[in-house]
Amino acid sequence: MVKAPSDDLPLMSTEEGIVLCHPHIPSKAKEYVCDTLDSRWVGQGPKVDLFEASFRAKFRLGPCVSVGSGTDALHLAYLLAGIQQGDEVLAPLFTCTATNIPLLYIGAQIKFVDVDPLTLNICIEDLRKKISERTKAIVCVHYGGLPCDMDEIWALAAEHSIPVIEDAAQALGATYRNRPMGCDSEFTIFSFQAVKLMTTGDGGMLTFKNASLDATARRLRWFGIDRALKHKGVWKNDITEIGYKYQLTDIGAALGLAALEEFEQILELRTTLYQRYVANLRDLSHVRIVDDFDARKVHAAWLFSILVERRRDCQLKLHGEGIESGQMHYRNDRYSVFSCNEEFPRMDSIDGNYLCLPLHTKMNAADVDRICDVLKAGW
């Protein structure tokens, strides 16, 4: 395993400088959580149902099934898509390993697709080259909150009559052609991990277009058991499929409900900070912003990433000024668990250059200006 360049840079505290990530805890979170703790339900209960309904309404989605993590949601999506042992799935090379490890649970054959150096999303040219009659699904990730080139992906999927599974863990609030992520693909997942745009402590959401899958998704989420039948008080329902313990709790849902109330403000602040970064850095010759500025796409502003030469020196310069930076994700082919020996020239071309800068709701415009001033001065 190749050592990450920032492994020996100590994490900062908020007292020491501007940290890379910070959770957003809504103003009503404590009130809603305490209300839950005083109730009968702390596990999966009525707040989970309310959170799912509220989330679905806010983002104009199909059926929504909440789970314990974005990884759980991906595993359920793969199962509901009919992916089986030995099936070939096209998936992004550059992503959190959570995108691809659930495919290993199933025993699917992962075929990695190279990265687009402009966006760090899946490369359409490489996707087109690698899709075949053996391909059973396309998985795409909206890196940092920037939507993929979905028109092109949907066209390829339709040509081969296979589903698209969107890992939108980083893209809640993003839009593509003025439609929220999750509206148009067969399956889409979101993450509510600690430092995502909104958090349930840890959690995730699966949404899908085919409403007939809803009952199956809910059974798979809870051991293969039909909870509605079980809660009638008589144990008569059979278990006919392998299920999992993937449900969200009412404590997590309480955090989620509080976050939904503030989501517009969260997104507005992060978008404002993102745009300020762009205004400061777009014309710098030694910094390239990871964004194609495609008019079809509205960025969710979860990450702000740049490409720089001598990344290590850049990180050291930032760290010396009290600014944390890092590589949030790594190319998955370098992990032994995936056993991949292919060549990925596009990833190779930027592997030592990408860097994430701080972006979260504990920051303000002056913080962004300070970071950009350090970058403008060079390293």
Per-residue pLDDT tens for 29-56?
999 999 999 999 999 999 999 999 999 9
Structure confidence at residue 2 (pLDDT): 38
pTM of the model: 0.95
**Nearest 10 degrees: CA dihedral of 359, 362, 365, 370?**
-70
Q: Cβ-count burial of 173 within 10 angstroms (0-12 exposed, 13-18 middle, 19+ buried)? A: buried
Q: What is the mean pLDDT of residues 1-19?
A: 68
The number of beta carbons lying within 10 Å of the beta carbon of residue 255 is: 30
Q: Give the residue with greater pLDDT, 3 vs 249.
A: 249
Structure confidence at residue 7 (pLDDT): 54
Tens of pLDDT, residue by residue over 330-341, are 999 999 999 999
What is the spatial distance between Cα 374 and Cα 288, in angstroms, rounded to a whole number?
15
What is the spatial distance between Cα 336 and Cα 7, in angstroms, rounded to a whole number?
19
pLDDT of 84 > 60? The answer is yes
Q: What is the mean pLDDT of the chain?
A: 95
The answer to whether 130 and 111 have CB atoms below 8 angstroms apart is yes
| pLDDT classification of 5: cutoffs 50, 70, 90 | very low
Q: Helix (H) and strand (E) counts for the chain?
A: 12, 15
Q: What is the DSSP letter of 212?
A: G
Structure confidence at residue 1 (pLDDT): 37
Residues 6+ apart with CB under 8 A from 158: none
Amino acid identity of 357?
L
Please give the structure tokens belonging to residue 284. 């710098």
The β-bridge relationship of strands 204-208 and 175-176 is unpaired
Listed residue (275, 293, 308) closest to 119, CA to CA: 293
Structural domains present in the chain = 29-257 (3.40.640.10), 263-377 (3.90.1150.10)
pLDDT of 182 > 50? The answer is yes
Q: Give the residue with greater pLDDT, 234 vs 108.
A: 108
Three-state secondary structure string covering 16-42: CCECCCCCCCCCCHHHHHHHHHCCCCC
